[in-house]
Amino acid sequence: MNAKRQLGEFLQTRRSQLKPEDVGLTTYGDRRRVTGLRREELALLAGVSSSYYSRLEQGQSSNASAEVLDAIATALRLDESERRHLNDLATGTRRRAGVRRAAPERITAAVRQLMGALGEVPVVVLGRRSDVLAWNRAGNALFAGHVDFVSPQRPEARPNMAQMVFLDPHTRELYVDWPEKARAAVGTLRLASGQHPDDPALAALIGELSVKSPEFSRMWADHRVKSGGEAVYEMRHPLVGTMSVTQQNLRTEQGQNIVVATTEIGSPSHAAMTLLVHSTVTARTAPSDEPAPADIKTGR
């Protein structure tokens, strides 16, 4: 992935989504040939020269200061996630060639302890590319009950949540508002692409999804970003029916996401989740099926 091109495309897309009236500019009825703000208008709002801003969009400049980036982010009305993404992209343009390949991802003993402490609460640990690094049985049952529980232990069979959202019919049916979930998945990958522009496996994943899913390709071109937080999804589970599930993402020091799913206590959704978790626990054949700490080491 070309960091300069990503930076230029992000700026151009965001600029095209701002109308003059959104930022208090008067157009006096003139005919506009561009969608959104003109480059010179954005540059004026950011307090930089039009030629300098144009070079940024065209990938001809890689030395934007933090102050300039902050001014451009303010002019574009970026939120905190988008500001971080802008800075990641700008940092990526200054990286030297020959960056070392990222090490395989592993979950730490502390993450395993947290998963154990959460007990029967559904938990999934995702890597930087949305690979499933680990899950407990409840997490497996909630998000991908049709996928082998031990698959995260095998790099060649490790599930990827973004792939499942766009390419797996079961996962598509799982979310009542699938487009909302799909946009969140794309936004997460967009953030990752800014943080890891030299990751060939991430580039290959994005390329695969762009080719196989027109919906992904269309959403990817929008340059929306998303960073963790919490979201409430209506899930249509094949075993226990519809549930309203709150998904919270906890970020580890290694940059992994611990996804925790909860329901409102006393609600029908909580009863359905309890039924799902208990049926999963009682159906377990042997404790040896659980992944041993040494098993959750290899990465993609």
CATH number of domain containing 115: 3.30.450.180
Dihedral angle over CA of 198, 252, 274, 287, nearest 10: 90
Q: What confidence tens digit (pLDDT) does each residue in 45-96 have? A: 888 888 888 888 887 766 788 888 888 889 888 888 888 888 888 877 665 4
Residues across the chain: 300
136 and 83 together in one domain: no
Same domain, 89 and 124: no
**Does 78 map to a domain?**
yes
E strands, the chain, are 123-126, 132-135, 230-237, 241-251, 257-262
Asked if pLDDT for residue 224 goes beyond 60, the answer is: yes
**129, 43, 59: which is closest to 92 by C-alpha?**
59
Tell me the pairing of strands 123-126 and 257-262. antiparallel
Give the pLDDT confidence score for residue 286 in this predicted structure.
Answer: 42
Least confident range from 39-48, 100-109, 263-272: namely 100-109
From the list 269, 225, 230, the residue with the least C-alpha distance to 73 is 225
| pLDDT (mean) for 143-162 | 91
Q: Range of 52's domain?
A: 3-93
One-letter amino acid at 17 equals Q
Of the candidates 104, 89, 299, which has an alpha carbon nearest to the alpha carbon of residue 195?
Answer: 89
Domain boundary residue, one of 93, 123, 139? 93
Q: Please tell me whether residues 130 and 194 are part of one structural domain.
A: yes
CATH of the domain at 51: 1.10.260.40
Tell whether the model's pLDDT for residue 157 goes beyond 50.
yes
Q: Which amino acid is at 166?
A: F
* Inside any domain, residue 202: yes
* Percent of the residues in the chain that have a pLDDT greater than 70, as a whole number: 85
Assigned domain for 50 exists = yes
Look at the chain and report how many structural domains it folds into. 2
> In this structure, are 130 and 159 located in the same domain?
yes
Assess if residue 269 is contained within a domain. yes
Contact present, 136 and 277 (Cβ < 8 Å): no
End-of-domain residue from the set 93, 125, 157: 93
